Structure 1
Amino acid sequence: MKKSIYIMALGAFGIITTEFGVIGILPALVKEFHISIDTAGWLLSAFALTVALAGPFTNMLTAKMNRKIIMCLVLGIFVVSNLLSAVAPNFTVLMIARILPAFLHPVFWAVSMTAASKQAGPKDAPKAIAIIMAGLSVATVLGVPLTTYIADLFSWRISFILSAMINLLAFGALAIFVPSMPVDEAAESPKSQVKLLSSAQLWVKLLTATVILAGMFATYGYLAEYLDKVSHMSGAQISVMLLVFGGTGIIGNWLTGIALSKNILGTTRLFLLALVVMHLLAYKFGGLFIPMVTILSVWGLVHTGGFLVANLHVIDGIQGTALDFVNSLLPSFFNAGITVGTLLGGLIIAHYGIHEVIWMTVPLLLLSLGLSFVTVKEKQVANETIADKPIELEPVQAVVCE
């Protein structure tokens, strides 16, 4: 079971390297295709928007497929996408190649998260999910900085070939070492699962998670450009800084997993406050090399745990078949947040400059902090528990703050 979880984390590493690896090469693409930075940012936001819109449908269409087969299919498509991106003759072709794998991206996340949770059991589910999320952390440690470095050393096209090789490695490990994962037909109850959508509290949590991701990526989506224009770092220095950012992120992801196992809500609020502080410090000292190195180290420590925080904030208290359903929704809401964040960040950059992008992130993070205090009182039907099936909830009008 542990081996399967770590291999799924490798798959997460592959697809996140593809999705976010473009962050580090945006300046190179701006020069190559003679476009603005906010236009280049669409390579990230369009990918995320596709995931957000396609997620519920692709998860529904693949619900009956063997879990191992569908994850292999996703990774195979990511390999092809990266190879097409590497030979793209213009920005339009590159955009199309980027969007193709986004349709099945949410399937991998929903399947891997649910599989990890079920294999670990309710008690250790946060730790198992943290392992999958570690794939994201390692992608920021190695994937994003490495693709940035390869692009600076050779060309941006070679960086896409590197991403293809990473996904191919994950595909091979999954195909060879992970056992078959047939769908448990007895556990499938779509009608019962959809009833969970009557929970107003679930929608508050999903909105909170979406705003958290928007706040994170309003600035992070343009971090390489920020370090270039504000901190005046060279391409090699940016690669090293992204490596430092992700390296401390691995530690942060591990610490966040431990903290969430003890107190999910408290950890969520502490994370948001810490991230606000890091952005304010980056704005104040962004033009100073040495202070910015220190800030990036701590920023990475905090930032990388954001996906895990948002994930567990939403699924806290949800078990059984309801967990499958909610996990299938999360990629859509997460990527909706990424889309909104990068678009708003690009808008600020276009009108006020890259340095001011921080002032889009801070309000979004404070908004998500406020939402974490909102509780919608709902009634639970007697003799039913969410572990057996989603509870039937009767929404009421009262909304209170903790």
Structure 2
Amino acid sequence: MPLPILALAIASFCIGTTEFVIMGLLPEVAADLGVSIPSAGLLVTGYALGVVFGAPIVAMATAHLPRKPVLVALTALFVVGNLFCAIAPNYWLLMAARVFTAFGHGAFFGIGSVVAASLVPRNKRASAMAMMFAGLTLSNILGVPAGTALGEAFGWRSTFFAVVGIGLISVAAIAWLVPSNVAEPSGGGLRGELRVLGKLQVWLAMLIASLASASLFAVFTYIKPYLTDVSGLSTAAVTWVLLLFGAGMTIGNIIGGRLADWKLMPTVIGTLLMMALMLVAFAEFGAIATVAVGIVFLWGLLIFIVVPPLQIRVVEAASEGPNLAATLNQGAFNVGNASGAWIGGVALSWGVSYANLPFVGAALALVAVAVAVMSQALDRRTPAVALQAPAE
């Protein structure tokens, strides 16, 4: 892994841990701050909304600035935000700190992916993005379990102090290792960044990202009751299954980068189709514990196979001003997270059983397939302007 991309991966590990570790600490946070666990759960929602609304604001505000200082500043924002989380004296200040921290999330991954792609030859760009996102996937395997264990042993605040330490390392790594002149903003500045948002293919790529994420979260939000009530696993076993899901994400991220460098849209379409079929199998055979465990691993693998292709798709579609579009794509994933969880909840409230909930995810994945097929068809109809990265 090139050292500049390693620096970005360290920062993405820090950011991923920040986002997800709160889920394992909800009882401790709720008890310490005197709120209910559902109220503490809104700290997850607040972070997601901070990503969605913060991404375009930060991207537009920094469109004319050099990329390296922006990445250093965004990583420093995470350090400060996590420090505020660690010392927050009450629930509402913790919520404010979480939202503040999340404002840099989408912009970091959007700008970071453009920077990572610029550091390698054109035919390796998706793989470079995958290497940067590897930090995010590893945070689910290492950062979240370790952070949860630390918080349970020494109090939830200790976890955020630990993330502050990792964040300082990532700030130093980016400042030291990322070249100063990397991926400089286009001459069009903010106007050029906004102009590319008029391209249909940019929006189609973001729609695919939202639908893919919604397909995951419509079911994964309720994975614990599914695995305990339908598959018959113990609560302790669920923890290990989720670690297996994280391992699948990590492997899928690497595979997705390589496949996208080879055949981008066929990778997206084929993977989403396999995801739909796998979710149907989950509904049909999820009651068999060993089958359910295997499907969860494959599920994690498939969902992250599509992440690098979709990110490079947006970057190439918006090649004249990719930073804002790449950042908005991170917001699109988070819109899918929130809407998928809501769709799954609505389905359950309407009487859909946990056993049949994967059919809802499969339907969303098939809609994503349809959008991806349409996007590829538009490429074929307009070969003169087919998506190409700009000349180096």
* Shorter-chain TM-score above 0.5: yes
Q: Name the amino acid aligned to 1:243.
A: L
- CA distance in 1 between counterparts of 2:273 and 2:31 reads 36
Q: Name the amino acid aligned to 1:340.
A: S
CA contact 2:114–2:183 (8 Å) conserved in 1: no
- CA distance in 2 between counterparts of 1:195 and 1:62 reads 16
Structure 2 equivalent of residue 251 of structure 1? 251
Cα deviation, residue 316, structure 1: 4.6
- CA distance in 2 between counterparts of 1:14 and 1:200 reads 34
Structure 2 equivalent of residue 396 of structure 1? none
Cα deviation, residue 99, structure 1: 0.8
CA contact 1:23–1:222 (8 Å) conserved in 2: no
Structure 1 equivalent of residue 274 of structure 2? 274
* Residue correspondences, number: 387
Structure 2 equivalent of residue 339 of structure 1? 338
Cα deviation digits, residues 334-361 of structure 1 (max 9, x gap): 2222222233334445665882653442
- CA distance in 2 between counterparts of 1:72 and 1:354 reads 46
Is 1:57 aligned to residue 49 of structure 2?
A: no
Cα deviation, residue 8, structure 1: 0.6
- Counterparts of 1:177-192 in structure 2, within 5 Å, are 177-181=177-181, 184=184, 187-192=187-192
Cα deviation, residue 283, structure 1: 3.9
Is 1:107 aligned to residue 107 of structure 2?
A: yes
CA contact 1:141–1:249 (8 Å) conserved in 2: no
Q: Name the amino acid aligned to 1:339.
A: A
- CA distance in 1 between counterparts of 2:303 and 2:184 reads 36
- CA distance in 1 between counterparts of 2:316 and 2:385 reads 20
CA contact 1:152–1:236 (8 Å) conserved in 2: no
Structure 1 equivalent of residue 139 of structure 2? 139
CA 76–380 in structure 1, closer or farther in 2 if over 3 Å, else same: same
- CA distance in 2 between counterparts of 1:209 and 1:347 reads 21
Structure 2 equivalent of residue 200 of structure 1? 200
Cα deviation digits, residues 322-341 of structure 1 (max 9, x gap): 33342233222222222222
- CA distance in 2 between counterparts of 1:211 and 1:79 reads 31
Q: Name the amino acid aligned to 2:42.
A: W
- Counterparts of 1:103-182 in structure 2, within 5 Å, are 103-151=103-151, 155-181=155-181
Structure 2 equivalent of residue 398 of structure 1? none
- CA distance in 2 between counterparts of 1:232 and 1:88 reads 39
CA contact 1:127–1:257 (8 Å) conserved in 2: yes
- CA distance in 2 between counterparts of 1:30 and 1:282 reads 33
CA contact 1:21–1:147 (8 Å) conserved in 2: yes
CA contact 2:59–2:323 (8 Å) conserved in 1: no
My pick for the range that moved more, 203-212 or 9-18, is 203-212
- CA distance in 2 between counterparts of 1:275 and 1:259 reads 16
Cα deviation digits, residues 179-198 of structure 1 (max 9, x gap): 43477466444434433233
Cα deviation digits, residues 101-131 of structure 1 (max 9, x gap): 1112222112211111111132211111111
Cα deviation, residue 72, structure 1: 2.3
- CA distance in 1 between counterparts of 2:9 and 2:292 reads 30
CA 183–122 in structure 1, closer or farther in 2 if over 3 Å, else same: closer
Q: Name the amino acid aligned to 2:257.
A: G
- CA distance in 2 between counterparts of 1:74 and 1:386 reads 29
- CA distance in 2 between counterparts of 1:240 and 1:193 reads 43
Structure 1 equivalent of residue 329 of structure 2? 330
The alignment's C-alpha RMSD in Å is: 3.5
CA contact 1:212–1:310 (8 Å) conserved in 2: no
SS state at 1:43 partner: helix
CA 220–152 in structure 1, closer or farther in 2 if over 3 Å, else same: farther
- CA distance in 2 between counterparts of 1:154 and 1:211 reads 39
CA contact 1:152–1:235 (8 Å) conserved in 2: no
CA 189–67 in structure 1, closer or farther in 2 if over 3 Å, else same: closer
CA contact 1:149–1:235 (8 Å) conserved in 2: no
My pick for the range that moved more, 158-167 or 24-33, is 24-33
Cα deviation, residue 222, structure 1: 4.5
SS state at 1:180 partner: coil
Structure 1 equivalent of residue 241 of structure 2? 241
CA contact 1:146–1:239 (8 Å) conserved in 2: no
- CA distance in 2 between counterparts of 1:295 and 1:153 reads 32
- CA distance in 2 between counterparts of 1:315 and 1:109 reads 12
- CA distance in 2 between counterparts of 1:49 and 1:84 reads 18
CA 165–63 in structure 1, closer or farther in 2 if over 3 Å, else same: same
Q: Name the amino acid aligned to 1:12.
A: S
Cα deviation digits, residues 66-105 of structure 1 (max 9, x gap): 3232222222222233343345555434322211111122
Cα deviation, residue 318, structure 1: 5.0
Q: Name the amino acid aligned to 1:333.
A: A
TM-score, reference length from structure 1:
0.81
Which ranges in structure 2 are unaligned for 5 or more consecutive residues? none
Structure 1 equivalent of residue 297 of structure 2? 297
CA contact 2:54–2:103 (8 Å) conserved in 1: yes
- CA distance in 1 between counterparts of 2:344 and 2:27 reads 16
Q: Which has a greater percent of helix?
A: 2
- CA distance in 1 between counterparts of 2:202 and 2:68 reads 29
CA 259–178 in structure 1, closer or farther in 2 if over 3 Å, else same: closer
